[in-house]
A = this chain, B = another copy of it.
Amino acid sequence: MHTPFHPEYNPLIRKLESIFTLTDDERQALLGLPMQVVALKENQDIVREGDRPNRSCLILSGFACAYKLTAAGRRQIVSFTVPGDIPDLQSLHLKVLDTGVSSISPCSVGFIQHYDLHDLCGSWPRIAAALWRETLIDAAIFREWVMNVGRREGYVRLAHILCELLVRLRAMGLAEDHVCELPITQGEFADALGMTTVHVNRMMQQLRVAGLIQTKGNRLTVPDWEKLKEAGEFDPTYLHLENPDEVAA
Contact with B along A58-70 (1 / 0, CB 8 A): 0000000010101
Of residues A71, A144, A147, which shows the largest number of chain B Cβ atoms within 10 Å of its Cβ?
Answer: A147
Residues of the B chain whose Cβ atoms lie less than 8 Å from the Cβ of A137: 94
The CA-CA distance from A146 to B194 in the complex, in Å, is 9
Whether A78 pairs with B240 at a CB distance below 8 angstroms is: no
What is the minimal beta-carbon distance from A123 to any residue of chain B, in angstroms?
12
Q: Report yes or no: B194 in contact with A151, Cβ–Cβ below 8 A.
A: yes
Q: Is A10 an interface residue (CB 8 A)?
A: no
Q: How large is the interface on A (under 10, 10 to 19, 20 to 34, 35 or more residues)?
A: 35 or more
A139: Cβ under 8 A from any B Cβ = yes
Report B-chain residues with C-beta under 8 Å of the C-beta of A68: 143-144, 147
Shortest A167–chain B CB gap in Å is 14
> Is A133 interfacial (CB-CB < 8 Å)?
yes
Using A98-B143, A122-B125, A146-B149 as known contacts, list a sample of 9 further A-B pairs with CB atoms less than 8 Å apart, ordered by residue number in A.
A50-B237, A70-B151, A76-B147, A78-B147, A96-B240, A98-B238, A99-B143, A142-B145, A146-B146
